[in-house]
Amino acid sequence: MENSLQLYNTLSGKKEPFEPIKPPFVGLYVCGPTVYSNAHLGNGRTFLSFDLINRYLRHLGYRVRYVRNITDVGHITTDVDEGVDRIGEQARLEQLEPMEIVQKYTLDFHEIMANLNLLPPDIEPTATGHMIEQIEMIKTILEKGFAYESDGNIYFDVQAYKEKYNYGELSGRNVEELFSNTRTLDGQSEKRFFADFALWKKASPEHIMRWPSPWGLGFPGWHLECSSMSTKYLGEQFDIHGGGMDLKFPHHESEVAQNTACSGHGPAKYWVHTNMLTFEGSKMSKSLGNSILPNELFTGDHPLLKRGFHPMVVRFFMLQAHYRSTLDFSNDALEAAEKGYQRLMAGVKILGALPVSDSSDVDVAGLKAKCYAAMNDDFNSPVLIGNLFDAVKMINSTAEGRLKITAVDKASLQELVRAFVDEVLGLKGIEDTSDGGMIEGLMDLILDVRARARANKDWGTSDAIRDQLVDLKIVVKDGKEGATWEVKA
Ligand SMILES: [Zn+2]
């Protein structure tokens, strides 16, 4: 498998050649959503970035096992929030069972991912489905001396870990620096050290989601599920671990520590982090009122949006930025992306019908090399899209007779477009949903048949047509000028 793919590794802080541990296999683990509310646009961008990576690795011929988990235990999400059961909280708010909340928002998440044409992961494990594995991992960490029990809670012992390993190697943070930034020492007296994090939390009486363990009823710490599920499905060490950059600390740093405590080394060879979204230059947040849900973006049903945009336009728009750059949303940028997307897909559409000649004045091989060079440079989709616009220019000029193309070059251009537009970027044409006047024509025909039946006093046929149309929610009204029809909602 000859290729020169380079990817940016957060661990080393630089681009490195991609060399899988056991080629042609590639293990890819991405931290999935916590399913207690609608998937937000930032999730969409993160998972779309890893969809691009997954698609390109497959395109290169790697046999990828893509694991993306569902966090369905509503535990701690930050140190400050410790003990907050977000799923339980939402269940009380919506008066539903916690697992109804999980089901509802998992379905919502899957629908958004499908609309954006993301390939599903090969394994989508849930935290609640891996309670035994998580408890086993805590036992191992305790046995190795990197955790301690405190009043039914188990904490990871950062000081013990620091003596042997490098805590902070992924995020580049050191404990002293963290200490000076810590303001929430109150109420954490069960911990020996401020940076210790929970592996297991004792459930308070009002905590709904709880499991039995050797340390009593409780629930696992958030960081633990990814360590135990990635180990189960991809092994103690696998190729790529990814997530949004907001997960780098404490989530991923804690994963590294947990895995290292168990096996002596971190879980992944390459760590990949995606950047954030902004709206007209400011961070998207609920409190600023500029947080837009994917569905609101598709329908345009949001005060900040002029109108809705097709999921394929949104996908194209997101791919126009490199995954490590921030992506700024605005109405103007989306409208520009829509025009660009239409221009690209119009070129793709006429490619098959291009006339061929005995000679070519287009350099398809050169263009192909540029497309691979872009993707091999840390999955640079914006540069790839620029190259594909060069292909569109080539196609349009040939269609207008200003350039010539041979049958062989045309076939390789078709293959290039199939590979990069369809397979790697995952862009589909937007189906034309208008029926081209077919329904109007059919209704004219049906009402004409009915009028003839009435003229022949064939009331049976006339009534049957009217009644069957009612079943289709089409109401026929007879008037002086003949019959008219309308669709009832
Ligand atoms: Zn995770």
Q: Are residues 264 and 282 in the same domain?
A: no
Q: Is 335 within a domain?
A: yes
Distance 271 CA to ligand 1 centre (A): 12
Q: Is 432 within a domain?
A: no
Q: Is 97 within a domain?
A: yes
Mean pLDDT for 379-401 is 97
Q: Are residues 269 and 293 in the same domain?
A: no
Q: Are residues 307 and 385 in the same domain?
A: yes
Distance 426 CA to ligand 1 centre (A): 25
Q: Are residues 287 and 249 in the same domain?
A: no
Distance 266 CA to ligand 1 centre (A): 14
Distance 225 CA to ligand 1 centre (A): 7
How confident is the model at residue 81, as a pLDDT? 45
Distance 223 CA to ligand 1 centre (A): 6
Q: Are residues 46 and 135 in the same domain?
A: yes
Range of the domain at 482: 438-487
Distance 226 CA to ligand 1 centre (A): 5
Q: What is the 3-state secondary structure (H, E, C) of the chain?
A: CCCCCEEEECCCCEEEECCCCECCEEEEEECCCECCCCCCHHHHHHHHHHHHHHHHHHHCCCEEEEEECEECCCCCCCCCCCCCCHHHHHHHHHCCCHHHHHHHHHHHHHHHHHHCCCCCCCECCECHHHHHHHHHHHHHHHHCCCEEEECCEEEECHHHHHHHCCCCCCCCCCHHHHHHCCCCCCCCCCCCCCCCCEEEEECCCCCCCCECCCCCCEEECHHHHHHHHHHHHHCCCEEEEEEEHHHHHHHHHHHHHHHHHHHCCCCEEEEEEECCEEECCEECCHHHCCCCCHHHHHHCCCCCCCCCCCHHHHHHHHHCCCCCCCEEECHHHHHHHHHHHHHHHHHHHHHCCCCCECCCCCCHHHHHHHHHHHHHECCCHHHHHHHHHHHHHHHHHHHCCCCCCEHHHHHHHHHHHHHHHHHHCCCCCCCCCCCCCHHHHHHHHHHHHHHHHHHCCCHHHHHHHHHHHHHCCEEEEEECCEEEEEECC
Mean pLDDT for 428-439 is 69
Mean pLDDT for 141-162 is 96
Distance 247 CA to ligand 1 centre (A): 8
Mean pLDDT for 19-37 is 95
Distance 68 CA to ligand 1 centre (A): 9
Name the average pLDDT for the chain: 91
Q: Are residues 288 and 246 in the same domain?
A: no
Distance 31 CA to ligand 1 centre (A): 4
Distance 132 CA to ligand 1 centre (A): 18
pLDDT-above-70 percentage for the chain: 93
pLDDT in tens, 226-280: 999 999 999 999 999 999 999 999 999 999 999 999 999 999 999 999 999 999 9
Q: What's 64's domain CATH number? A: 3.40.50.620
How confident is the model at residue 78, as a pLDDT? 41
Distance 184 CA to ligand 1 centre (A): 23
Distance 170 CA to ligand 1 centre (A): 14
pLDDT-above-90 percentage for the chain: 76
Q: Are residues 457 and 389 in the same domain?
A: no
Domain boundary among 259, 274, 289: 274
Q: Are residues 263 and 407 in the same domain?
A: no
How confident is the model at residue 333, as a pLDDT? 97
Distance 27 CA to ligand 1 centre (A): 15
Q: Is 106 within a domain?
A: yes
Q: Is 210 within a domain?
A: yes
Q: Are residues 195 and 338 in the same domain?
A: no
Question: Where residue 434 falls among pLDDT bands split at 50, 70, 90?
Answer: low
